[in-house]
């Protein structure tokens, strides 16, 4: 840049100087020529004034110092010449241009070659009366005189030109340095800024406007440097966090290219960091994942699903980053969770099975003992064993049902009449209903499609709770309502109700509001959990409204 600028400015200045030099030479030459012409005219005129018939020609022609003087007769013969020439030998001058011009009374200077001297001269002649006749008085200056003046002037001009060129050269170099200094200073500052090494230094270049710019650049640089440091720190922190979270994470831009990827994701997909800016297809060929990312990239639609990659199960979350067109994908390895859950379920099921057999035997032996024992004291213990073993059996039965529900994925639906199922459950609960003198009414009916055993479990658990957590002379009402595309079952009681804090937790396994009360009531803490699993299995909606001391309403919406 510096060299180019220097070259072009020097070129322009040199061309300017050469032009100026050429013009000067041209003007000076023609000035000198004009001066020479004026001199010959003036000399000829002065001599013409002094000339008389009696003039001594040999001394007359010597009057012009540097000028050649020639006196020519009217017939063209040369009478006298200031140059040491033999006039008798000289040619007739009558046809010389200057003589002809004088003859026409229109004298004018002429530049032409002297035949006798063989060099260019400026000639001027005047016709002067001489007694009865006339003569021509001619003045001439050799052009070489003009050229001699010129070469003198030229030398001065060349020296002048050289001096000017040198001054210009130094001036241009200083000027370019001066102009480029702030630019290279700003360039240096920008480099420092980009490399995080910016430090403000009050540099001035002696030009107010540029000094102001440098000062403002310094202020701006400090702010930018601070912001860049903050951003760099944030980025480092973010990179550190991203690389140290166990979940795989990558971000795709609007054209489906990978914009960001963390170490865990590189490991999951077995790729290297140069996957950045490459299309998603280079990362993975799992159709479900590619489809979900494309849906999110084009339509902003999020997704949550599981995929298996290299034998591991991943829970995949696909989301549009708020306020951007970027799609974020998080892959959480849930293989261990799933295996643990499976192990827990297996243990749950096995333990329940193992407990059920000896328990059934204990119940059988206890019944035998009851038959053979009439002693009131021993019967008290036998009744107590009966109560506890039955409770234990219902707990194990519930555990087995729950375990079966969590492992079941396929169902064999059949038409089930809801009101009939509710009445069957009511029959089973009749002792408790009568003991508490509870009013129980069923309204409406509908047929739904499900396994009858599942519907019975669902209805029985809801109705059992409505009776169990009710007061003496309370009321239970079961409503079956048909809606547009669904059937709704409502189990309403005016019992003890559930506080808002407990309402979210009562669907958890073994969760009981008052732990001491349920066993007494025959509860296991698994009833609502079974209901929830049945609803999840069929995709039905389960909801609960309750108020302490007022009652509870549980609804199930069976959607087809
Ligand atoms: P349990 O076998 O102990 O009844 P559930 O899972 O069926 O277990 O219910 C969990 C807890 O929710 C119960 O212990 C009880 O405190 C509360 N609950 C369930 N249904 C009702 C209801 N209709 N009214 C009041 N409390 C209820």
Q: Answer whether 252 contacts ligand 1 (Cβ < 6 A).
A: no
Taking the chain, what is the end-to-end CA distance rounded to the nearest angstrom?
Answer: 79
Does ligand 1 come within 6 angstroms of the Cβ of 396? no
The token duo for 242 is 């991203």
Kindly give the number of the ligand 1 atom that is closest to the alpha carbon of 522: 2
Residue 317's beta-bridge partner residues? 304, 330
- Residue 327: per-residue pLDDT: 95
Ligand 1 within 6 A of 460 CB? Answer: no
Asked if residues 80 and 60 have their Cβ atoms less than 8 Å apart, the reply is yes
CA of 417 to the centre of ligand 1 (A): 25
Closest ligand 1 atom number to CA of residue 530: 6
pLDDT at 338: 85
| Residue 119, token pair as written in the block | 């060099």
- CB 528 near ligand 1, within 6 Å: yes
Q: Is the CB of 487 under 6 A from ligand 1?
A: no
Closest CA to 77 of 65, 89, 85: 89
β-strand pairing of 248-252 with 327-333? antiparallel
Name the residue at shortest CA distance from atom 4 of ligand 1. Answer: 523
Give 450's DSSP letter: E
Ligand 1 proximity of 469 Cβ (cutoff 6 Å): yes
What is the Å distance from ligand 1's center to 185 Cα?
A: 79
Q: Which of 425, 465, 524 to mutate to test the pocket of ligand 1 (most atoms within 8 A of CB)?
A: 465
- Please choose, from the candidates 433, 477, 482, 487, the residue with its C-alpha nearest in 3D space to the C-alpha of residue 455: 487
The helix (run of H) or strand (run of E) holding residue 6 is helix 2-50
- Enumerate the H helices of 136-274 as residue ranges: 143-194, 208-244, 263-269
142 forms beta bridges with 121
The verdict on the CB of residue 402 being under 6 Å from ligand 1 is no
Ligand 1 centroid vs 545 CA: distance in angstroms? 13
The answer to whether residues 71 and 135 touch, using CB atoms and an 8 Å cutoff, is yes
340 Cα–ligand 1 center, Å = 28
Q: Of all atoms in ligand 1, which is nearest to the CA of residue 493? A: 23
- Is the CB of 529 within 6 Å of ligand 1? yes
Beta-bridge partner residues of 73: 135
Confidence (pLDDT) at 263: 92
- The pair of structure tokens assigned to 534 is 């049945």
How far are the Cα atoms of 20, 44, 50 from residue 55, in angstroms, in the given order? Answer: 50, 15, 8
Q: What is the three-class DSSP state of 112?
A: strand
pLDDT at residue 149, rounded to an integer = 66
Confidence at residue 53, expressed as pLDDT on a 0 to 100 scale: 83
For residue 523 and ligand 1, the question of a CB distance below 6 A is answered with yes
Q: Does residue 506 line the site of ligand 1, with CB under 6 A?
A: yes
Residue to probe by mutation, ligand 1, list 397, 512, 522, most atoms within 8 Å of CB = 512
Q: What is the atom index within ligand 1 of the atom nearest the CA of 526?
A: 6
Neighbouring CB atoms inside 10 A of 80's CB total: 21
Give the pLDDT of residue 472: 94
The series of mean pLDDT values per 10 residues for the chain, 560 residues long, is 81 86 84 87 90 84 78 92 85 92 93 81 92 90 74 81 87 82 79 77 73 81 85 89 90 94 93 94 91 92 92 93 92 90 84 88 91 87 90 88 83 94 96 96 96 95 95 96 92 95 91 64 86 94 96 92
Look at ligand 1, atom 18, and give the residue with the nearest C-alpha: 465
Per DSSP, 91 falls in state P
Answer whether 524 contacts ligand 1 (Cβ < 6 A).
yes
Residue 465 beta carbon below 6 angstroms from any ligand 1 atom: yes
CA 421 centroid distance within chain: 63
pTM over 0.75: no
């Amino acid at each position: 840049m510096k060299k180019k600028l220097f070259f072009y400015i020097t070129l322009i200045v040199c061309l300017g100087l050469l032009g100026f030099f050429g013009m000067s030479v041209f003007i000076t030459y023609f000035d000198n020529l004009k001066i020479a012409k004026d001199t010959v005219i003036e000399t000829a005129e002065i001599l013409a004034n002094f000339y008389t018939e009696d003039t001594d020609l040999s001394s007359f022609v010597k009057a012009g110092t540097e000028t050649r003087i020639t006196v020519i007769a009217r017939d063209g013969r040369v009478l006298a010449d200031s140059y040491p020439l033999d006039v008798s030998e000289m040619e007739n001058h009558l046809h010389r241009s200057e003589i002809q011009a004088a003859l026409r009374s229109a004298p004018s200077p002429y530049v032409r070659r002297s035949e006798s001297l063989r060099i260019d001269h400026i000639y001027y002649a005047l016709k002067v009366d001489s007694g009865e006749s006339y003569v021509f008085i001619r003045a001439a200056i050799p052009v070489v005189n003009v050229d001699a003046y010129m070469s003198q002037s030229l030398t001065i001009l060349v020296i002048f030109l050289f001096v000017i060129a040198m001054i210009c050269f130094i001036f241009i170099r200083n000027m370019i340095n001066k102009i480029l200094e702030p630019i290279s200073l700003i360039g240096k500052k920008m480099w420092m800024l980009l490399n995080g090494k910016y430090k403000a230094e009050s540099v001035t270049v002696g030009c107010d406007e540029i000094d102001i710019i440098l000062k403002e650049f310094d202020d701006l640089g400090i702010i930018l440097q601070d912001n860049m440091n903050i951003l760099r720190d944030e980025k480092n922190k973010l990179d550190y966090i991203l690389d140290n979270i166990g979940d795989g994470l990558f971000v795709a831009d609007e054209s489906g290219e990978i914009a960001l990827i963390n170490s865990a994701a590189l490991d999951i997909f077995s790729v290297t960091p140069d996957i950045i800016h490459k299309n998603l297809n280079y990362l993975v060929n799992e159709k479900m994942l590619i489809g979900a990312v494309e849906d999110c990239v084009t339509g902003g639609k999020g997704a949550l699903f599981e995929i298996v990659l290299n034998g591991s199960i991943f829970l995949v979350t696909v989301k549009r980053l708020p306020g951007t067109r970027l799609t974020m994908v998080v892959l959480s390895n849930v293989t261990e969770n799933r295996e643990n859950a499976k192990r827990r379920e297996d243990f749950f099921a096995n333990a329940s099975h193992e407990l059920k057999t000896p328990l059934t035997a204990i119940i059988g032996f206890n019944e035998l003992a009851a038959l053979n024992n009439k002693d009131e004291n021993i019967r008290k213990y036998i009744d107590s064993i009966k109560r506890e073993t039955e409770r234990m059996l219902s707990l194990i039965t519930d555990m087995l049902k729950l375990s079966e529900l969590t492992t079941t994925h396929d169902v064999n639906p059949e038409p089930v009449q809801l009101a009939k199922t509710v009445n069957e459950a009511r029959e089973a609960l009749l002792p408790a209903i009568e003991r508490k003198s509870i009013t129980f009414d069923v309204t409406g009916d509908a047929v739904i499609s499900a396994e009858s055993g599942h519907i019975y479990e669902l209805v029985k658990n809801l109705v059992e709770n409505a009776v169990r957590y009710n007061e003496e002379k309370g009321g239970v009402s079961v409503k079956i309502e048909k809606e547009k595309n669904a059937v709704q079952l409502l189990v309403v009681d005016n019992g003890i109700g559930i506080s808002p804090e407990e309402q979210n937790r009562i669907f958890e396994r073994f969760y009981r509001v008052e732990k001491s009360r349920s066993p007494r009531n025959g509860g296991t803490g698994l009833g609502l959990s079974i209901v929830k699993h049945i609803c999840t299995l069929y995709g039905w909606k389960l909801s609960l409204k309750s108020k302490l001391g007022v009652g509870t309403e549980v609804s199930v919406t069976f959607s087809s």
